[in-house]
Structure formats: structure tokens, C-alpha cells
Structure 1
Amino acid sequence: MGELRKTTDLVYDILKEDKAARDSDNVLYCRVLEYYGKRLNVDFSRVSVISFFSSVKRSAIPSIETVGRCRRKLQEEYYELRGSDNVERERRAREKDFRSYARY
């Protein structure tokens, strides 16, 4: 649970500072990788995909799914960290679509 709390705190800090990260999990995850890259002395922009996925597990870097879940939790709790109006509308529409799909 400590790692999840640490990831949530990191995501909170990024969302607070970076409006683009509020709108895109890809941008958010790139910021998370920048943080871990500095800690691990790794330039993830120069790592192969296979090496990347191996290092994620080995180095306890949170997955993009975990980062996305932390973002959703934080944006639900902190209105000021939510995405732009257009992105929030799109997310709600996709949520409705997924709920309909999941019923079948």
C-alpha cells in the first residue's frame, strides 16, 4: 500500500503543476517516467520497448494503469485537478459507452 500512496502523491504533484497531464494519461505517464528516470539515471526515450517493460517490473515503476487509476481518484476528489471541459465531457461519454458495453 505504501507504493500506491507514493504513486498517488507523485500523480497529485504532477497534476497540480501540469495542465496537459490532467487531460492525457499518456502525458501524465511520461511525466511519471521522467521522475523515475531521474531517480534511476535512465533516459526512457532511449530505451527499447522490451527493455522498458522489463525495467518497469524490475524497478517498481508504476504501470500506466495504476497511474490512470490514481489520476481518476484524485480528479474525483480535487475539482481543481480535473481536465478541461472538453476532455471531461469526452470521458463521461466514454464511461457511458463502456457501461452499456459491459452490460452485454
Structure 2
Amino acid sequence: MHNLKTIEGKVRRILEKDEEARNDDMTLYLAVCNSCLKGAGAMPFAEVMAQHKYLGLPSFESISRTRRRLQEKHPELHGSLRMQKLRARGEKAYRRYAKSD
């Protein structure tokens, strides 16, 4: 399993280079997986999901949390304005959901 500093470095490098990865966590996850394991993107989805630990791939949640942390600390790594607004709305909706019974 990758340690969080290694994941952070990979995520940061990808966010710096790839605007689409800043806007879409699935694009980011694919790029990180490909940087960890050559050809990961060509593997069957079910195999990647079922074998991610064995393959040495980080979890999707680790990538997503790392992206949020980096974008919070480094505004230049934010996605497009449209995506920032969508994420803010999604966060508000989730907070309402989490508080409801």
C-alpha cells in the first residue's frame, strides 16, 4: 500500500499537468493508477477494483481526499469555475443529507 505522502506527490503532479483531472475524480484516479502500475488503465475494471491492494494501487477514497486537501491548500490546482460551483452545491446537498434521519 502506498503511503499518503507518495500518493500526495503523484496526485499533485497530475493536478499540475492535467486540467481534466482537476475536474473529474475518475480521470484523476485513472491517471494515478497508470502512474503506479503501467497499463492499469487497460486492465478490466472488475480486476482493478477487486485486486487494487494486490496490484499496489491506492484506494479511490485516498485519491479523492488527497485531491480535496491539495485543492484547499493550493487554489491554482482548483478545477474549472463550473466544477467548483458543482462541487460546492454537492457538498451542501451532502451536508443536508448527512443531518437528516
> TM-score, normalised on structure 1?
0.87
Q: Is the Cα contact below 8 Å between 2:30 and 2:41 reproduced in 1? A: no
In 2, the alpha carbon distance for the partners of 1:77 and 1:83 equals 13
Q: Is the Cα contact below 8 Å between 2:37 and 2:55 reproduced in 1? A: no
Quote how far apart the aligned CAs of 1:34 are. Answer: 1.3
Amino acid at match of 2:3: E
Q: Which runs of 5+ in 1 are unaligned?
A: none
> TM-score, normalised on structure 2?
0.89
Please give the root-mean-square deviation of Cα atoms over the aligned residues, in Å.
Answer: 1.4
In 2, the alpha carbon distance for the partners of 1:86 and 1:16 equals 18
Amino acid at match of 1:7: I
Q: Which runs of 5+ in 2 are unaligned?
A: none
Identical-residue share of aligned pairs (%): 32
Is 2:94 the counterpart of 1:98?
A: yes
Q: 1:63 aligns with which of 59, 63, 76?
A: 59
Match of 2:18 in 1: 18
Match of 1:51 in 2: 47
Q: Is the Cα contact below 8 Å between 2:36 and 2:56 reproduced in 1? A: no
Q: How many residues align?
A: 99
